[in-house]
Amino acid sequence: MGVSTTVTVSRPEDGTALVTVDRPPVNALPVQDWFDLADAVRAAGRDPGVRCVVLAAAGRGFNAGVDIKEMRRTPGHAALLGANRGCYEAFAAVYDCEVPVVAAVQGHCLGGGIGLVGNADAIVASDDATFGLPELDRGALGAATHLARLVPPHLMRTLYYTSRTVTAAELHRHGSVWAVVPRDEVLTTALALAGEIAAKDGYLLRLAKAAINGIDPVDVHRSYRFEQGFTFEANLSGVADRHRDAFARNRGNRRNSTPADGPERGRSADTPGTSTTGAGTPGAHPPRADTPGTDAPGGKPS
């Protein structure tokens, strides 16, 4: 991996690698950051001294998807192709990592965040964490494959069609979140779980990861690629651009009337009518585009 100012790797404990994403203000990632994240996770998993990887993020939220501003200002389809491919690579890197991956999630986990967390082996979340796919509100599709790994099928469909979010507590009830803790305890709890895993034999852990992936009933790579085909159809039809433009206009209007910044608000699935963080997501698997990124609120192209 080249030098990245967004993705860093450290070794806080013996046998554990910590991959941290830091892209203010909301961790909405431009194209190159998705590739850098994929490279970092893959490299950590290949390290013979690493037996577990913790995937974390700095700031108020875990991930807000892709950078919509980059999508809108880049001529042609370069940013779309790059973001979709980058998301595919990052999600795949988490799933295919040679050792277990523990996701440490605080605040919003939206769009591309769902792709990362859904492919992780274990999840620790803060008590204020919310999870969702606001794709339809952004003119996008994708990551239903990964949301389906977090919630039952009919709930996944309802969340997808409504762009609602669910809380960490609800995912804990469904069994997909290992622990729900106060925000300031998320990383320490995730590292403790990773330490417990890393105490096992590294060779056996790698065999276990390969075996569990091998019996997975859904091929997550093929399934996500299938979704991405519809993402491109939405973009070629012009529908995606209309929704992205409307999203940007609405955010601009809200910023003029309120100082608050961050992912757009959406309704929570388990608390109808309440506000929770919501923002964009990712997409497909075409040629890599090294399009420079910007800090911007989340959204998704795919």
CATH code: domain of residue 114: 3.90.226.10
Token pair recorded at residue 127: 């008590």
Nearest 5 degrees, angle CA 104-CA 88-CA 25? 50
Helix (H) or strand (E) run with residue 21 in it = strand 16-21
In a domain, 195, yes or no: yes
pTM of the model: 0.83
CA distance 178 to 193: 9
- The CA-to-CA distance between both ends of the chain, in Å, stands at 24
Domain holding 66, by residue range, is 7-299
- How distant, in Å, are the alpha carbons of 108, 148, 193, 220, 302 from that of 215? 31, 17, 23, 12, 28
- pLDDT below 70 — which residues of the chain? 1-3, 247-248, 251-302
pLDDT at 253: 67
pLDDT at 30: 96
The one-letter amino acid code at 177 reads: V
Burial of 69 (0-12, 13-18, 19+ CB in 10 A): buried
Q: Phi-psi region for residue 129, left (φ > 0), alpha (ψ -120 to 50) or beta? A: beta
pLDDT at 187: 99
In a domain, 2, yes or no: no
In a domain, 1, yes or no: no
In a domain, 219, yes or no: yes
pLDDT at 240: 75
| Phi and psi at residue 116, to the nearest 5° | -70, -50
pLDDT at 3: 57
Token pair recorded at residue 121: 């082996």
72 close to 245: Cβ distance less than 8 angstroms: yes
pLDDT at 138: 83
47 close to 99: Cβ distance less than 8 angstroms: no
DSSP-based helix, strand, coil % in the chain, nearest 5:
45, 20, 35
pLDDT at 252: 64
* Count of structural domains, the chain: 1
With tokens 């769902």, the residue in question is 114
